[in-house]
Every structure is written in structure tokens, then in C-alpha cells.
């Protein structure tokens, strides 16, 4: 059985080039049958490995890892889901600081890394809702102390954790610098 590569930075250059075509908007210059998103995961002209490496460098410069950020985001999101299920609402304030709102959309966004031939089906590494990752929900987390917020599809958590991909220069990108502005960095930084 071939080894499964789940992180973008571990893929071969030729596989990345072949694969990244699925990440462009379907209505743009690079639109194609089989693309994963109308809005795209990468802006036209962006290179997947360049985007991932830039984000990796941003994390290193700030003494963070993909896992540290995802653990904090998952903790907030999962706590909000549990608490909201108790009160049957769509928004909640956690830690006296974070206003968290959920919106459920009619369609589901699927992981662009799923159902890829060869070694890039992330099925065994699922951490969201299915064989790879998908979600009809988006989340907004607003820091009530500084009024900054992040909005993202729950699929973003899967993309960051299982593929080290925050997305490119597109509307739905969950930028690591923006995360650090909204979520307390002293809580998500490692303790040495």
C-alpha cells in the first residue's frame, strides 16, 4: 500500500502542479470541470506550495504551529456547539470575551483534497465530518475586547489540521495573522 501524504508541503512538485488546478475558482480564468469551489481555495495565479510555505514561515516567526492554532480554534468551536445545543440558539459568548455565531448554508463544501487519485485522499486522517472533510456551517468568532473577528467555514479547521492549508488570497481564507489578532496569542503559544 502506498504511503498517504496528507500535508501539502510533503507532496511532490509535479503532484502539486497537477493538483492545484482544482483549487482555482470555477468561474475564473482557471475554472475547470472537477474544481472544488466556485470561489476557489486559491486566487488565480497563486501557487499552492508558495502559499503554504508563506503561512508556515508566518507560524514559525510567531512561535506557533498548525496544531497549536487548531487546538485553540477547535476548543472554542466545540465548546460553543455544545453550549448552543443546550440553549437552542445560534450565537453565544464564551470566556466573557468571544462572541461566536454559526450559520448553516444550504450546500456543503467538501475538502478539495478528497477523492484525489494516487496518495492524496485524506480519508484515514479525517478530523471533521466524513471521509475527508466537509461542512455546511460557517462560524464567526468576534473578540469583544478589540472588535476584531474571523469568519470561516468549519471545513477550514480540517484544511489547516490535516493539510496545513489556510487557503490562498480568497474570501474564505482563515489567515494565521488574523487568527492571532482575534484569539489571545498568549493562550495559544506553546509554554517552554
Q: Does 77 have pLDDT greater than 60?
A: yes
Cell of 171: 474570501
Q: What pLDDT does residue 37 have?
A: 66
What is the pLDDT, as a whole number, of residue 140? 94
Sorted by where each begins, the domain ranges of the chain are: 63-188
- Looking at residue 142, its pLDDT comes to 97
At residue 113, does pLDDT exceed 90?
Answer: no
* Residues 103, 158, 151: CA angle, nearest 5 degrees: 35
Whole-prediction pTM value?
Answer: 0.79
Give the pLDDT confidence of 136-160 residue by residue, as tens digits: 578 999 999 999 999 998 888 888 9
How confident is the model over 61-75, as pLDDT tens digits? 999 888 889 989 999
Q: Give the three cell numbers for residue 146.
A: 478589540
User: Average pLDDT of 100-106?
Assistant: 81
What is the pLDDT of the chain when averaged over all its residues? 77
Read off the pLDDT of each residue in 185-192 and give the average, rounded to a whole number. Answer: 51
Amino acid at each position: 500500500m502506498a504511503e498517504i501524504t496528507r500535508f501539502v508541503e510533503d507532496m511532490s512538485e509535479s503532484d502539486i502542479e497537477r493538483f492545484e488546478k482544482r483549487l482555482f475558482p470555477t468561474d475564473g480564468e482557471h475554472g475547470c470541470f472537477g474544481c472544488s469551489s466556485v470561489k476557489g481555495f486559491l486566487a488565480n495565479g497563486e501557487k499552492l506550495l508558495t502559499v503554504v510555505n508563506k503561512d508556515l514561515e508566518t507560524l514559525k516567526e510567531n512561535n506557533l504551529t498548525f496544531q497549536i492554532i487548531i487546538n485553540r480554534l477547535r476548543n472554542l468551536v466545540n465548546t460553543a456547539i455544545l453550549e448552543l445545543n443546550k440553549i437552542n440558539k445560534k450565537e453565544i459568548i464564551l470566556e466573557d470575551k468571544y462572541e461566536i455565531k454559526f450559520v448553516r448554508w444550504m450546500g456543503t463544501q467538501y475538502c478539495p483534497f478528497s477523492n484525489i487519485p494516487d496518495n492524496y485522499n485524506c480519508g484515514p486522517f479525517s478530523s471533521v465530518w466524513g471521509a475527508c472533510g466537509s461542512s455546511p456551517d460557517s462560524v464567526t468568532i468576534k473578540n469583544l475586547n478589540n472588535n476584531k473577528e474571523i469568519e470561516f467555514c468549519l471545513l477550514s479547521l480540517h484544511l489547516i489540521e490535516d493539510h496545513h492549508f489556510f487557503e490562498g488570497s480568497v474570501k474564505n481564507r482563515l489567515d494565521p495573522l488574523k487568527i492571532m489578532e482575534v484569539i489571545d496569542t498568549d493562550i495559544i503559544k506553546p509554554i517552554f
